[in-house]
Amino acid sequence: MSAEHEIENLLHEERRFAPSKEFAANAIAQPEIYQRAKADRLEFWAEQARNLHWHKPFTQTLDWSNAPFAKWFHDGELNVSYNCLDRHVEAGWGKRVALFFEGERGDTKVYTYLDLLIEVKKAANVLIKLGIQPGDRVALYMPMIPEAIIAMQAVARVGAVHSVVFGGFSADSLASRIQDAGAKLVITADGGYRKGKASLLKPAVDEALADNKCPTVENVLVVNRTNSEVAWEEGRDLWWEEQLNLADREHVAQGFNAEHPLFILYTSGTTGKPKGILHSSGGYLTQTAYTHKNVFDLHEGQDVYWCTADVGWITGHSYVVYGPLANGATQVIYEGTPDSPDWGRWWDIVQKYHVNILYTAPTAIRSFMKIGQSVTTHYDLSSIRVLGSVGEPINPEAWMWYREVIGGNKAPIVDTWWQTETGAIMVSPLPGITATKPGSAHVALPGIEIGIVNDEGVEVGPGHGGYLTIKEPWPSMLRGIWGDPERYKETYWSRFEGKYFAGDGAKFDADGDLWLLGRVDDVMNVSGHRLSTAEIESALVSHPFVAEAAVVGAKDETTGQAVVAFVILRSSHQDQIGSDQDTSKMLRDHVAKEIGPIAKPRTIFVVSELPKTRSGKIMRRLLRDVAEDRPIGDVTTLADSSVMDTITGRINAGAND
């Protein structure tokens, strides 16, 4: 079935699931929220911002005079960590559980808001002792353990800027991110538990810092999670636990300007170099807290919330570390993988902690679906009230499975569309209001204005595909790309005058509901993780055997998309080159070393030519046809139209089996 056909079918989706009367009556977000935001958008945001604690209140909501560089609430001052911790303790909620930590081996730890505040204060004092000043960058390379959250909160508390690098990235990727941000300190752990064993992190940090590759780094703070033997550099490396034990327990949070930078998070773009997406404080915290409360219908003090994302991704930042804590939520965090020791692990956690709100990615849902309903039959999932989905389009089949098997046919599903750049959820149903339909992300949240435009930037009507744009600035929007303001303007604001270009294709259906059609640029989405074709291509060509490489994202039943690479090998290395299978393994390992295991191509085809236009541009559309095993599309613009025959001929001859 062609993609166009599939979407046509989706647009005729007739199933609707309205919230129950009882749910609707008790929901945090009531229908008038849309009118309130429409009536005065900026006042609506100011109202949300006033739910935070301001050391110095703001008087101006938005300054857009230097667009696209936005300033929100910019004459106000606040402390992000004070908002997430101190104010809840001061309000008498110190004994409320903030975190239920579930280690992969079954070890557990509970932190109340007071416990978390004490740890964060000690960690803040350690940072100060190590010379970290407001504005300094601190890189984190951590497993999913409470110390990761404590470290991020402590960095925010002292006004420094964190750059969390996902633990699945390689030493090389870590090094380039540390260099780009000029980080002064790295916080890591000896390792974390994954799939039943200790998976080490410190060696990658050592490798990243070796040979003075990252001269800005003065210290490495290391959490002892796995008791593993790790190399130690005296004077540079310090144990987290020892430092915290020595630290003063008091720390008074000072206010910083609302536009003070909070973090950098690197994400893949269309070039080989990841972009350091920069977020600031007041607007970001305002929108993450507002969306977390309204989209998930959080009743703090009652609900147990669990977002399965790692802190290495934006979802972990906004919906584990900042939004939930700003709202005084009680949440679960889990260190390991969903299949450890078996595929019942998540459902065991839901039952154990009576999870009410679960937020996860379609890839995970499809993996469970593949295993079958049996994964959940031994567990009581009746506590679940709201289900969330994020990171990639969710197909109606997975949506229905999620609703029926996990949500007991009653919990509303919120399919949330947003990006690292948007900082917080932009498009989503509201669970007590929207009658949801499987597969649609529905409408822009109150306070957000979106539009779908054609190539000329003109808005298209229902049923017409186009580019998703955001028409007005929003509080948690990125403030730039670290060190590259031009790239920020060029990437997001130059394509359509005055509008933010998201890079996603989309369509409205006849009801005005939004359907996401995937990326329209050379960015892939594998298991909800964002990868760039250019980055993987440059990793492949950095191997001495590879002359040329082209990478495409091909449709995959479980992971949404999968990385498929086409490579031309250098004839000069012909005698060293083994079978295609050996070559494939060697190159997959090479990509894992260069970028990280998450970027490993699923399939590598060795070919003798690549399809190019007369101007030399690779025609990925045709390679996608090959990768998805369907008839090859129009080849008339190729410089040499016989190239595709050569490629398919070689593949069909089984040379790549």
Element (H, E) at 502: strand 500-508
Does residue 391 bind ligand PRX (CB under 6 A)? yes
Residue in 41, 36, 43, 32 with CA at minimum distance from that of residue 447: 41
Does residue 418 bind ligand PRX (CB under 6 A)? yes
Provide, rounded to whole angstroms, the least separation between the CB of residue 245 and ligand PRX. 37
Total residues binding ligand PRX (CB under 6 A): 21
**Residue span binding ligand PRX (CB under 6 A) among the ranges 26-34, 120-128, 234-242, 409-417:** 409-417
Residue in 308, 292, 306 with CA at minimum distance from that of residue 100: 306
Tokens standing for residue 359: 């937020």
State the Cα–Cα distance between residues 247 and 242, nearest whole angstrom.
9
Does residue 476 bind ligand PRX (CB under 6 A)? no
The one-letter amino acid code at 515 reads W
Q: Which is nearer to ligand PRX, 178 or 517 (CB)?
A: 517
Does residue 176 bind ligand PRX (CB under 6 A)? no
For ligand PRX, the nearest residue by Cβ is 420
Residue in 355, 379, 358, 380 with CA at minimum distance from that of residue 304: 355
Q: Which is nearer to ligand PRX, 162 or 184 (CB)?
A: 162
State the Cα–Cα distance between residues 634 and 516, nearest whole angstrom.
25
Does residue 169 bind ligand PRX (CB under 6 A)? no
Give the contact letters, 246-275, x = binds to ligand PRX (CB under 6 A), - = no: ---------------------x--------
Whose tokens are 């219908």? That residue is: 297
**C-alpha R_g of the chain:** 24
Tokens standing for residue 398: 């997975």
Does residue 390 bind ligand PRX (CB under 6 A)? yes
Q: Which is nearer to ligand PRX, 173 or 525 (CB)?
A: 525
**Residue span binding ligand PRX (CB under 6 A) among the ranges 75-83, 140-148, 417-425, 490-498:** 417-425
Contact assessment for residue 522 and residue 476, using Cβ atoms and an 8 Å cutoff:
no
Does residue 525 bind ligand PRX (CB under 6 A)? yes
Provide, rounded to whole angstroms, the least separation between the CB of residue 148 and ligand PRX. 18
Work out the widest C-alpha separation in the chain, in whole angstroms: 74
Does residue 186 bind ligand PRX (CB under 6 A)? no
Provide, rounded to whole angstroms, the least separation between the CB of residue 450 and ligand PRX. 13
Residue in 521, 488, 486 with CA at minimum distance from that of residue 503: 521
3-state secondary structure of 518: strand
Residue in 458, 467, 545 with CA at minimum distance from that of residue 500: 467
3-state secondary structure of 657: coil
Give the contact letters, 426-465, x = binds to ligand PRX (CB under 6 A), - = no: ---------------x------------------------
**Residue span binding ligand PRX (CB under 6 A) among the ranges 24-32, 131-139, 164-172, 391-399:** 391-399
Does residue 420 bind ligand PRX (CB under 6 A)? yes
User: Which of 163, 288, 416, 583: binder of ligand PRX (CB under 6 A)?
Assistant: 416
Work out the angle between the directed axes of helices 171-181 and 580-594 (0-180°, nearest 10): 30
Provide, rounded to whole angstroms, the least separation between the CB of residue 433 and ligand PRX. 18
Tokens standing for residue 173: 């990727």
Does residue 504 bind ligand PRX (CB under 6 A)? yes
Does residue 101 bind ligand PRX (CB under 6 A)? no
Contact assessment for residue 452 and residue 26, using Cβ atoms and an 8 Å cutoff:
no
Tokens standing for residue 467: 């580019």
Does residue 316 bind ligand PRX (CB under 6 A)? no
Cis amide leading into 68 (omega within 30): yes
3-state secondary structure of 385: coil
Provide, rounded to whole angstroms, the least separation between the CB of residue 475 and ligand PRX. 16
State the Cα–Cα distance between residues 484 and 652, nearest whole angstrom.
45
Does residue 393 bind ligand PRX (CB under 6 A)? yes
Provide, rounded to whole angstroms, the least separation between the CB of residue 392 and ligand PRX. 5
Does residue 312 bind ligand PRX (CB under 6 A)? no
Does residue 519 bind ligand PRX (CB under 6 A)? yes
Which residues are at the interface with ligand PRX (CB under 6 A)?
267, 314-315, 390-393, 415-420, 441, 502-504, 516, 519, 525, 530
